[in-house]
Structure 1
């Protein structure tokens, strides 16, 4: 399958989801939590991606995935026509272990792709405490309520699990995200403590994800603690959409994000700062691409992913973006990223490097027309 067709298939599956012939094949799919949620990991060619399997669009998806054979391979069909063969990654070996106090390692961190470990350090958030303030797409409290995780992963727990994931499963980088706590650091302090413990235990590149801390000095503190790259997520790019979709988070003005992006790039370097943008929440194509152009100029990687309506959230019935809308974004965005010299493959750690939640990385590999070419 060509890279272009890989891009198109990934885009189709991530917007429309897929149905599993054998529901047991989704035993390692992720329900609830900080994200990616209601997804299942599959490998297409050389890329492992996250595909919705427990969402409203996926229940009506034209894409049907057969039960995997003994090697983990499975056919994907669309209206009876075979379109691809995919593979289901094997279950992480470190999931079989428990901490000294009996907590399953899977409650501390999760394997999000073939080689990336991810954790939500604080599974609580000041934005989630009130329906008037919560991000309408967020399911951070679901996995905690279901008993699949713990509210606060300690530095020692994170270090223990990270070391095991590297040794047993070949993990190559790690994402540390968090619910936003009270305090002007907006989660940076807990990232510093976590990173120091992990890096003392194992040589593993780390990405931290926080809201912009009030004091830009936290960027240097996080870097000194061993964090290699930083994510500060816009999610939506226009004030009206931000206020409607995430009223609590919108209290941090866009101007603060832009100034924090600039400060962070000075510390971490071009391409090592990123932001998550959820396409399909109401921002226009033009607004997203205009914002992405400004981000690329700053050296911030704009990780644009299709919005996935998660069960149990206020937006569970909100439509996912169409494959056509996503393709109209990702093709010019891939060219923009290449011209800016901030490809995903050069990110040291994090969601952009993993790329499993978007087809964007595939579009970065497509040929970029020369300047002035027709």
Structure 2
């Protein structure tokens, strides 16, 4: 099996651990790749579900590591790969002067990307009638694993330590959507300015499209290098059903904001997150991908992962075959548009750990 296909299969089916304590700390709740563990296959580090319903029934079993720190991955008793788990980051052992653990302010995703949710509250999460049904942003806050608002100075302190102690190479800052027309752009700009004053670290900011496109330039001026504005679903019907609050921002606003942002950040430095498996067909996702590539927006398509405690916890994950039918042609579409993941300055697309998309970009097209 090709590495790209194996990663795709692991990310849709998940994996079972002989010893759940093996390897790095898993992500539970919050924003981003929740209920996952980071695992390195060959030279590629990816996030694989371990705490989801599909993972509990996965055909993939990860054995205890050998003396060299490698673990066998088996399927039906046959070895399919050897993997390694990244070690616990050293900055996790530090606290701020106020006693806040650094890993409640920001965490390591994959091997070299620092990630944080600046505001761990969201206007879309306040009402079950408006919430994005896949979102677990409030879970880690309720469990005491994070704090509600990370100040710019806290973020700068942690980012500097993560670079110096653990070799972090870029940073992702997302946020719950606050009240107000900037939709989070203001707090992201303020945070980026403080981080850049402390350490030279490429930053991606992620928020809903601000009402005023002038915020794109303000964020860039304050140190944001790349911008993510996430569609999640690509058709109006699925958007309204899955995320009724966020769907109040129409696709037309996303398109106009994408165009304005590309003028500021450049082609390939603006991206959007698309969750495959929520109801959009492969053809609909690929049609959106084609439109985004033409605009200079990187379409980061990832498999939907049902997270425990959310309204969609029992929703099935997409099949590996469905994901391959999207990621194979999309990878070639992205290459043809001149927007490889490795050229993104910072963020989810550059990290690539939540999807096999970047590995499909590297596949040669048959002559």
The yes-or-no answer on 1:91 pairing with 2:88 is yes
User: Match for 1:301 among 298, 301, 311?
Assistant: 298
Offset at 1:26? 5.4
TM-score (norm 1): 0.97
| Pair 26,59 (structure 1): closer, same or farther in 2 beyond 3 Å | farther
1:212-291 alignment, distance < 5 Å: 212-291=209-288
Structure 2: distance between partners of 1:326 and 1:32: 24
Q: Work out whether residues 152 and 195 of structure 2, in 8 Å CA contact, stay in contact via their aligned partners in 1.
A: yes
TM-score (norm 2): 0.99
Offset at 1:35? 1.6
Q: Work out whether residues 74 and 85 of structure 1, in 8 Å CA contact, stay in contact via their aligned partners in 2.
A: yes
The yes-or-no answer on 1:347 pairing with 2:352 is no
| Pair 157,70 (structure 1): closer, same or farther in 2 beyond 3 Å | farther
The yes-or-no answer on 1:116 pairing with 2:123 is no
| Aligned CA-pair RMSD | 0.8
Q: How many residues matched?
A: 367
The yes-or-no answer on 1:207 pairing with 2:204 is yes
The yes-or-no answer on 1:75 pairing with 2:94 is no
Deviations 1:266-312 (A, max 9, x none): 00000000000000000001100000000000110000000000000
The yes-or-no answer on 1:180 pairing with 2:177 is yes
* Unaligned stretches of 5+ residues in structure 2: none
1:7-18 alignment, distance < 5 Å: 7-18=4-15
1:20-35 alignment, distance < 5 Å: 20-25=17-22, 28-35=25-32
The yes-or-no answer on 1:153 pairing with 2:188 is no
Question: Secondary structure at 1:23's aligned position in 2?
Answer: coil
Structure 1 equivalent of residue 186 of structure 2: 189
Structure 2 equivalent of residue 314 of structure 1: 311
Q: Work out whether residues 72 and 89 of structure 1, in 8 Å CA contact, stay in contact via their aligned partners in 2.
A: no
Question: Secondary structure at 1:352's aligned position in 2?
Answer: helix
Structure 1: distance between partners of 2:181 and 2:212: 7
Offset at 1:68? 1.7
Offset at 1:67? 1.2
Question: Secondary structure at 1:64's aligned position in 2?
Answer: strand
Q: Work out whether residues 68 and 88 of structure 1, in 8 Å CA contact, stay in contact via their aligned partners in 2.
A: no
Offset at 1:40? 0.3
Task: Find runs of 4+ consecutive structure 1 residues off by over 2 angstroms.
Answer: 69-72
Deviations 1:336-372 (A, max 9, x none): 0000000000000000000000000000001135xxx
